[in-house]
A and B are shown apart, each in its own frame.
Chain A
Amino acid sequence: MIHGTHDHDFRSVLAPPAAPAGLAERVLQAARERRETGALALRFDIAASERGVARLHPGKGEIRAESRRARTLAERAREELSEYLEGLRSYFTVPIDLAATAGFQRAVLEAARAIPFGEVRSYGWVAEHIGKPRAVRAVGTALGRNPVPLVVPCHRVLRSDGSLGGYGLGLDLKSRLLSLERETPAIVGSDTTRIVCRHGCPNEQRIAERHRVVFATIAEARQAGYRRCRRCLPADH
């Protein structure tokens, strides 16, 4: 197809197909929805112990904590939650206290925590992961009782046919969270320091938008002359 080695050959071969009808309208609608999702963080009630965040559910934005340290943790959770919902963070650093859960449910929640940002797994995968391959339905129930949704990402678990399954906070929010994660970049570098970070790392948050460069892999970032941040240690999986 490229007969010679001339540049105009590349131009014609690479000419892309036309944009689909209604694209602009869909983009504008998504922008309106995003503004609503970002405002959600302020409405969560958060309960924390000395060990970490213990409960999280939609309410009036109240904090329940028995000590100063617990309060600090709850406030930190709200801040990270708000950054996450605005697409500014890809992981949570605030500790979680799952003491109120035990046995099977605990194992299910731990498995859900292992699903990386921006990825999804099936209920069956979770069941296999905890060594109970036949307990697919029970996995759904355990995830439905997740005391710390979003932070323990039970929204990343779908049916094996790709349909959404269930979600304690409503399927609309589940699908919004999944598209938010698809849209948030994971490996971000600064063209002034030539360092790449995980999205949400404190060093990454200081990068001005105009100095941001996103890479597909750490290997490609290295080729472009960037090195890994020592604080968040981004890695190719």
Chain B
Amino acid sequence: MTKFGIEFVPKEVYWRTTYYAIQAERGGFDNLWITDHFINRNVYVTLSMILAHTNKIIVGTGVTNPYLLSPISTAGAVASLNEIGPGRTICGIGAGDLTTLQQAGVEAIKPLSAMRESINIIRSLTSGNAVQNFEGKVYKIQAANLAFKVRQKIPIYVGAQGPKMLKLAGEVGDGALINASHPQDLENAVRAVKEGALSANKPVDSVDIVAYTSFSVNKDEEKALKAATPVVSFIVAGSPDGILEKHSISLEVAKEIRESLVKGDFLGAFSKVTPEMVDSFAVCGTPDKCIEKVSTILKTGVTQFVVGSPIGGNVRKSINLITKSILPHFKN
């Protein structure tokens, strides 16, 4: 059965995010993902609190990256989380957002190698194996191990967008986190992940393929659109030209949105977002409209659907709407 996940950005105090996590678990979500960005509350502190206040929901970093934190430290962090919620921790890791890494003064060296190597390191350490004399293209580790036993396997999910990273996700990941909301984008991504799995002689259904969508629901379609608009403006501004052209989005308008955001003219940027842009980069609308789009996305072969930011204008009410009007449609 398809799993449903929810993503939270820990931009508020821990207890608000924890409140929503408890609500999501009670409402039937299977997975919960917390974003990792240095401007927000720390992902591991947030996940610790959530694990301590929930019973069954599976949680994960959504996603951390191999540059800002050494994979050795990441292994220790996710292994520690697993002690708070045994068997309920996933390590989600991606190559990282270039803008974020630049802000931190960190160079994203050889992203494919960095990902492959960091996944090897994290998997070895969390499986109880020491990493010794590791001579990678990005990481060189003399001797590292965890001085405590990790009693459950910690799955590693790979955040991926480009075709090479998607294949790597299928090849080495227990799951692939695909940041997309349009069925066509997801269909292509699923194909690439499956190719990666097959190239590693893994059964394609051994990889949890996750549609990590931008989502906004409201009984009033206009309100759903209003909540989705800021998120979509940032997605448009950060998308490569190829992606924009594929969705027939004017490069000129995208440039204007980008420039407005850089200047801090947020209202100017949001005013240029069109319903077509929202349709390309978000699942947005009334519950019925969302059900229709989720159904189409599930046909692409994804095995987990993630309700991502913004979720809705009022997060508490939106979670209630999703768990009462949307999830039952797919879970019953």
- Do A and B form a real pair? no
Interface positions of B (Cβ within 8 A of A): none
Interface positions of A (Cβ within 8 A of B): none
